[in-house]
Amino acid sequence: MTNQKKNLPRNTAFKFIILLGLVSLFSDMVYEGARSITGPYLGLLGASGAIVGFVAGFGEFAGNVFRFITGYLVDKTKKYWVITFIGYSCIFAIPLLAFAHTWLIASILIIAERIGKAIRTPARDAMLSYATHKIGRGVGFGLHQLMDQIGGMLGPLVITLLFLIKHHYQLGFTVLFIPAVIALIVLSIGKKQYPHPQHLEIEKNDIAEPSKIPSVFWIYLIAACLLGAGYADFPLIAFHFQQAHMMSTVWIPVFYMVAMGVSALSALLFGWIYDKKGSISLIIAIPLSALFAPCVFYDGFHIALLGMILWGIGIGAQRSLLKAVVGDMITKSKRGTAYGIFNAGNGKWGLH
């Protein structure tokens, strides 16, 4: 191992995290922007409610299955960039929805994008774990989640503004081609500057790594799955808000944006606490966020707002802190496999 690798500067890892964060920002603009209108669009093309539900469910199911496979391939082949590029290239299925004239074609494109996310996520998380080793995994994953959530808010905002100007689905999907191209350009820059991302994390004294995933990981995975299973998704919360007449319809997306903003900031804050104090960050964040349930399902506008803030804290913890712990728990040689299993398990029951 060269001295250059042993003395990689901190800002080298930081720049890599920013680059991957920008990729996630622009790709999330595409996905979350489309997510806000794909349901009504399928209906416009003649799909029934059952078909819309099946497409959403099958897309997530297929994505979770693929995570097992791609996570293993990442560790086996070390082709981090190839696998990541294949995954992110699938986001172009979203702009192509502008040319879908039947609900069947549109459904195939929507499912293809979900499979693309499954392909890229284990490789991306493994590369992030290598870079965050230098600056702190809590802060590193928290920073990535911050940028990811910014994209998740900008996408629906862009679609909303376009619809205020002209209510035209094809225009909305076509405009999303722009952030999709930017995401691939930034990813290309990252590959050029960091062709071997695994070198961002240096093995300790060149000691041989264990060949198996430790048993504590499986216990941790079960806990993460139970956490995700007990966490209400926003559509259910929004449905309750509407049925209980707790607020006018216009406030519901506002509450969601507040929660996403809190999620982004709390991911960074609790990530910093994790790097300084360890698992105490989880001990604080998880029980605190669990209080969202009695708040959002209680009859009161201000209490519901507090509940959404707590819900956002939980989202930030699940999407950043949990992954940071996996990075510290698993050795480099098995990290792609571990992230594939973790994202598949936690994603099946949780909020990924």
Q: What percent of the chain has pLDDT over 70?
A: 92
Computed on alpha carbons and rounded to an integer, the radius of gyration of the chain in Å comes to: 20
Mean pLDDT computed over 309-317: 88
pLDDT over threshold 50, residue 2: no
- H or E element in which residue 275 lies: helix 251-277
Question: To the nearest 10°, the Cα dihedral for 273, 277, 280, 284?
Answer: -30
Q: Could you tell me the maximum CA-CA distance found in the chain, to the nearest angstrom?
A: 65
pLDDT over threshold 60, residue 207: no
Closest CA to 346 of 91, 111, 121: 121
Prediction pTM value: 0.82
Q: What is the DSSP letter of 196?
A: -
Mean pLDDT computed over 217-237: 81
Per-residue pLDDT of 18-36, as tens digits, reads 999 999 999 999 988 888 7
Contact between residue 187 and residue 23 where contact means Cβ atoms under 8 Å apart: yes
Name which residue leads in pLDDT, 318 or 204. Answer: 318
Contact between residue 327 and residue 129 where contact means Cβ atoms under 8 Å apart: yes
What is the chain's mean pLDDT, rounded?
85
Per-residue pLDDT of 328-349, as tens digits, reads 889 888 899 999 888 887 764 4
Which domains are assigned to the chain? 3-199 (1.20.1250.20), 215-321 (no CATH)
φ, ψ (nearest 5 deg) of residue 226: -65, -35
Q: What percent of the chain has pLDDT over 90?
A: 38
Closest CA to 23 of 106, 158, 96, 116: 116
pLDDT over threshold 90, residue 319: no
Residue 293's pLDDT is 87
pLDDT over threshold 80, residue 7: no
**Cβ-proximal residues to 196 (8 Å cutoff; 6+ apart), any chain:** none
Per-residue pLDDT of 111-132, as tens digits, reads 999 999 989 999 999 999 999 9
Per-residue pLDDT of 64-101, as tens digits, reads 788 888 999 999 999 999 999 999 999 999 999 999 99
Mean pLDDT computed over 177-188: 97
Label residue 350 by pLDDT band (50, 70, 90): very low
Residues in the chain: 352
Contact between residue 325 and residue 138 where contact means Cβ atoms under 8 Å apart: no
Judge residue 230's burial from the number of C-beta atoms within 10 Å of its C-beta, 0-12 exposed, 13-18 middle, 19 or more buried: exposed
φ, ψ (nearest 5 deg) of residue 128: -65, -40
Mean pLDDT computed over 275-282: 87
Label residue 186 by pLDDT band (50, 70, 90): very high
Task: Of 17-26, 50-59, 241-250, 259-268, give the range with the top mean pLDDT.
Answer: 17-26
